[in-house]
């Protein structure tokens, strides 16, 4: 069964609104979660590392004020796309490490965001 | 900068054909290597991995991959593909000596014709 659950799977919103995506670790506690963005015909791009109880670590070029990450508990991380614009339309995927620092990940189903 | 190269963006094969998907990386340090697969409408999942030991690793559904250190390669193979192997395949490399960065290839879309 699924180890990581992401919600919503699809979301369509108007430009200027904010959208929250949830990522839940179902079977175990996760002090770290990763948020990826997947562009068509391109590889996954790591946006940020979500750390339980502390600030997220953002990758270079990712606007922290634009993509707010909250990791309030050991099983939940949220990504909020603030004041969304059409260029934010993308597929957002969260993942949880199976083992720390190995690169082996469990992935959520992904969330397709379309900003009109 | 470190990178992972998957040579083919799209591959179309007939059922029972043999498959080899290329993956090369540019990094001289210690690595963990992965192939992840994304079936249509499903989430990414691990196909196989290499951490250490035998460089020929076997994964789920009859897939295998061989780590050739001298060639910085980790090619994915399957002797006889099935229609259900239609999916997107991603190679990923974890840089163990460089802050455990996980670098992804661009992915290969595999279509198997029935």
Contact indicator for A23, A36 with CB cutoff of 8 Å: no
Q: Is there a contact between A105 and B100 if contact means CB atoms under 8 Å apart?
A: no
Mean pLDDT of B25-44: 92
A36-92: per-residue pLDDT in tens?
A: 999 877 788 999 999 998 899 999 999 999 999 999 899 999 999 999 999 999 999
Interface membership of A26 toward B (CB under 8 Å): no
- By percentage, how much of chain B surpasses pLDDT 70? 100
Taking the CA of residue B71 and the nearest CA in chain A, the distance in Å comes to 21
A3 lies within 8 A of chain B by CB: no
DSSP string, A1-47: --SEEEE-SEEEE-TT--EEEEEEESSS--SEEEEEEE-TTS-EEEE
pLDDT of residue A91: 94
As beta bridge partners, residue A16 has none
3-state secondary structure of A65: coil
């Amino acid at each position: 069964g699924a180890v990581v659950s992401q919600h919503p799977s699809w979301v369509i919103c108007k430009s200027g609104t904010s959208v929250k995506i949830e990522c839940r670790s179902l079977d175990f506690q996760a002090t770290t979660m990763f948020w990826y963005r997947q562009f068509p015909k391109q590889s996954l791009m790591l946006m940020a590392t979500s750390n339980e109880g502390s600030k997220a670590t953002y990758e270079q070029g990712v606007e922290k004020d634009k993509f707010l990450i909250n990791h309030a508990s050991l099983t939940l991380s949220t990504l909020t796309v603030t004041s969304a614009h059409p260029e934010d339309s993308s597929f957002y995927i969260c993942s949880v490490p199976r083992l720390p620092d190995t690169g082996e990940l469990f992935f959520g189903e992904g969330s397709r965001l379309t900003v009109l | 900068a470190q990178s992972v190269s998957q040579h083919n963006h799209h591959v179309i094969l007939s059922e029972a054909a043999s498959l080899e998907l290329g993956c090369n990386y540019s990094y001289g340090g210690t690595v963990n290597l992965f192939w992840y697969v994304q079936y249509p409408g499903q989430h990414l999942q691990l196909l196989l991995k290499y951490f250490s030991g035998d460089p020929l690793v076997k994964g789920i559904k009859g897939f295998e991959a061989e780590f050739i250190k001298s060639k910085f390669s980790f090619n994915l193979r399957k002797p006889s593909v099935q229609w259900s192997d239609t999916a997107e395949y991603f190679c990923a490399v974890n840089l163990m000596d460089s802050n455990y960065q996980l670098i992804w290839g661009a992915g290969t879309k595999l279509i198997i014709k029935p």
